[in-house]
Amino acid sequence: MKGGFFVTGTDTNVGKTWTTIALMRRLQIQGLRVVGMKPVAAGCERQDDILKNSDALLMQQYASLPLEYQQINPYAFEAAISPHLACGDVEVSVDVIADAFIRLQQLADVVIVEGAGGWYSPLSNVLDNSGLAQALHLPVVLVVGIKLGCINHARLTISAIRQAGLSCAGWVAVQIDPAMPGFDGNLAFLSEAIDAPLLGVLPFLAAPDFELLAMSLSLSNWQKFDVHQKK
């Protein structure tokens, strides 16, 4: 049975993409074939007559096997605004995304799907990240950017994931502000408040080092859930 995860965040710009690539690399180190997927992306630039997103390009680069760009990012929009506005008159079909996901599952052991924005952020006028994760039947990895307000955001998001009938496979803390006072205290509180394993703490980096970030994820915590979880 093929496995997969849905990566969501407490907000936008909290480290979802770096976490996704780190997860990919960590699982690849364990000998698994892993690919990433960014179903809907806004803020894309035209390359070779195709709109491409920088996050999706990273997933393409770090995939365990060569993939066409559109396999990773079925819906790419140019405007750097919320996808439900950037899509214009384009209908974002959950069936199209699900079909693309299934095709990737047939090629890899694990497919890691990264949402856009937070859990309830819209991907179109009729679809949000929560609805997409439910349609794909995926356990969720929550990325928490440690900053003022993150405790409330994290607890609300965990509650919403549970209400959607999905499991939280774990959460990742990201140090997005190297000078934040009370970082350790906030991390300790969240570790007690979130009923899911802490998979690791990604340190603040000015530029990504995905090998370092991958090794910041805990092997012992990975063993608490099954990457081949049945859909």
Is-catalytic flag, 231? Answer: no
How many residues in total does the chain contain? 231
Longest dimension (CA), the chain: 49
193 is in an annotated binding site: no
45 is in an annotated binding site: no
Task: Supply φ then ψ for residue 230, to 5 degrees.
Answer: -70, 140
189 is in an annotated binding site: no
115 is in an annotated binding site: yes
Amino acid at 12: T
Q: Which of 2, 16, 38, 147 is catalytic?
A: 38
116 is in an annotated binding site: yes
78 is in an annotated binding site: no
- DSSP character string of 5-21: EEEEESSSSSSHHHHHH
| Tokens read off for 72 | 């990773």
Q: Output b/e per residue, 123-153; b: 16+ Cβ within 10 A.
A: bbeebbbbbbbeebebbbbbbbbbbeebbeb
203 is in an annotated binding site: yes
CA distances from 142 to 9, 11, 41, 116, 220 (A): 5, 10, 19, 13, 18
Rg (CA), the chain: 16
172 is in an annotated binding site: no
114 is in an annotated binding site: yes
205 is in an annotated binding site: yes
- The answer to whether the CB of 2 falls within 8 A of the CB of 228 is yes
Amino acid at 102: I
Question: Measured in whole angstroms, how far is the alpha carbon of residue 119 from the centre of its chain?
Answer: 10
131 is in an annotated binding site: no
- The answer to whether the CB of 34 falls within 8 A of the CB of 110 is yes
State the catalytic residues.
38
Annotated binding site: 17, 55, 114-117, 174-175, 203-205
Annotated binding site for Mg(2+): 17, 55, 114
Annotated binding site for ATP: 55, 114-117, 174-175, 203-205
